Amino acid sequence: MAMSIFSSVLLLLFLSCAIISTPVTSSKQDNDYLISSRIISHPAVEKQSHLRFYWHDIHSGPNPTNVRVAQAPETNKSSTFFGVVNIIDDPLTTGPDVNSKLVGRAQGIIAGAGLYKLEYLVAWNLVFNDGKYNGSTIAILGRSEVFTPVREMPIVGGSGLFRFARGYVLARTYSHDLVTRDAVVEYNVFVNHY
Ligand SMILES: *[C@@H]1O[C@H](CO)[C@@H](O)[C@H](O)[C@H]1NC(C)=O
Ligand SMILES: *[C@@H]1O[C@H](CO)[C@@H](O)[C@H](O)[C@H]1NC(C)=O
């Protein structure tokens, strides 16, 4: 009796495993471009990597890495740069010195999105060009209130070794020249990926 309950439980377990791992194939009525869709029964092991580097935002000199591409007619009257749109291609290095080892670049859009406070919309790809992450990217979409000590921005995706990435970045100003507006910011990136 005990034995048969045990074997029924085993059979049930076996059946449920079989159901979980069966691919769900599409029928002809489904989209022609859906090739397959299956339930992931055992999630792959996800890891969290912590990366640290320095972001160099250069406005001054002959080779700025941050350029203004557009602004609203009202932007000149705004103390918070509301309505300005800049494009960046900022170097990311291992140390706060811009001549320290280059590991990647932050490329994208930063837009003045605060009517009453100095707040920016940030939409960037962190593009790595060194070591095992060479060619992989992390996509950030977030808000930066530049004069707060720590700005947190969400990681919304990635490519290459950062495929399916999610997580967050913490940005802390290392130095900021109020005249030239050049800045160095320490980035701590906490990224979950496979
Ligand atoms: C805003 O100010 C800049 C610099 O003074 C000037 O070049 C630009 O034409 C102004 N833009 C508008 C829309 O008024
Ligand atoms: C990164 O990858 C590019 C393209 O494959 C290659 O040209 C470059 O040498 C690599 N850089 C490093 C530092 O490995």
Is residue 178 assigned to a domain?
A: yes
Helix (H) or strand (E) holding 16: helix 2-21
Query: Is any ligand 1 atom within 6 A of the Cβ of residue 76?
Result: yes
Structure tokens at 92: 């990311």
Task: Report the separation in Å between the CA atom of 75 and the middle of ligand 1, taken as the mean of its atom positions.
Answer: 9
Task: Report the separation in Å between the CA atom of 127 and the middle of ligand 2, taken as the mean of its atom positions.
Answer: 12
In terms of residue numbers, what domain contains 75?
47-193
Is residue 108 assigned to a domain?
A: yes
In the predicted model, is pLDDT for residue 29 greater than 70? no
Is residue 34 assigned to a domain?
A: no
In the predicted model, is pLDDT for residue 83 greater than 50? yes
CATH number at residue 64: 2.40.480.10
Q: Identity (one letter) of the amino acid at 102?
A: L
Query: Is any ligand 1 atom within 6 A of the Cβ of residue 73?
Result: yes
Give the model's pLDDT for residue 13: 44
pTM for this structure?
A: 0.81
Q: Looking up tokens 């003045």, which residue turns up?
A: 112
**CB-side exposure of 83: number of CA atoms within 13 Å?**
9
Q: Count CB atoms within 10 A of the CB of residue 136.
A: 19
Is residue 27 assigned to a domain?
A: no
Q: Identity (one letter) of the amino acid at 57?
A: D
What are 142-165's pLDDT values in tens digits? 999 988 999 999 999 999 999 999
> Could you give the number of structural domains in the chain?
1
Task: Report the separation in Å between the CA atom of 33 and the middle of ligand 1, taken as the mean of its atom positions.
Answer: 50
Of 187, 162, 9, 160, the closest CA to residue 96 belongs to 187
Is residue 98 assigned to a domain?
A: yes
The answer to whether the CB of 67 falls within 8 A of the CB of 87 is yes
* Local confidence band at 62 (pLDDT 50, 70, 90 cut-offs): very high
Rounded-to-integer distance, Cα 127 and Cα 55, Å:
12
Is residue 172 assigned to a domain?
A: yes
Rounded-to-integer distance, Cα 194 and Cα 180, Å:
41
Measured from the alpha carbon of residue 84, the closest ligand is 1
Which is more confident, 41 or 62? Answer: 62
Is residue 33 assigned to a domain?
A: no
Give the model's pLDDT for residue 123: 98
The answer to whether the CB of 58 falls within 8 A of the CB of 65 is yes
**Sequence-ordered strand ranges (E) for 100-165:** 102-112, 119-128, 137-145, 151-159
3-state helix, strand, coil in the chain (%, to 5): 15, 45, 40
